Amino acid sequence: MKLDPAFIYGNYIEACLWAAIGIIAMARRSRPWGIALAGALVAFGISDIIETRTGAWYRPWWLLAWKAACIALILTFGIAALRAYRRGRAALQL
């Protein structure tokens, strides 16, 4: 199966974007959950690179599971960060 170059390059760009956000988040956070959030963002970026080889985010099944786990972590820690920020916790350093 030949993949469209726009699909491949788009996924590489997306991978770089997620990895950059994760690296920036990692540099700004010292709490364990903040590091886990940054790791999930970087892992999500890596999954986009794998997607360029498989041709779909849902194929093979383990790539779908990988992406779902990353999204679950990003949402969980992202919501926790927003709630803490809204409460005015200075320890978050947002």
Helix (H, G, I), strand (E, B) or coil at 45: helix
Asked whether 15 and 55 are in contact (CB, 8 A), the reply is: no
Asked whether 47 and 60 are in contact (CB, 8 A), the reply is: no
CA distance 24 to 50: 22
Question: Distance between terminal CA atoms of the chain?
Answer: 44
43 is written with which tokens?
A: 């892992």
The structural domains of the chain, with segments of one domain joined by +, span: 5-92
Averaged pLDDT in 10-residue chunks for the chain of 94 residues: 88 95 78 80 95 91 97 89 71 48
State residue 94's pLDDT score: 44
Chain centroid to CA 72: how far? 10
State residue 30's pLDDT score: 61
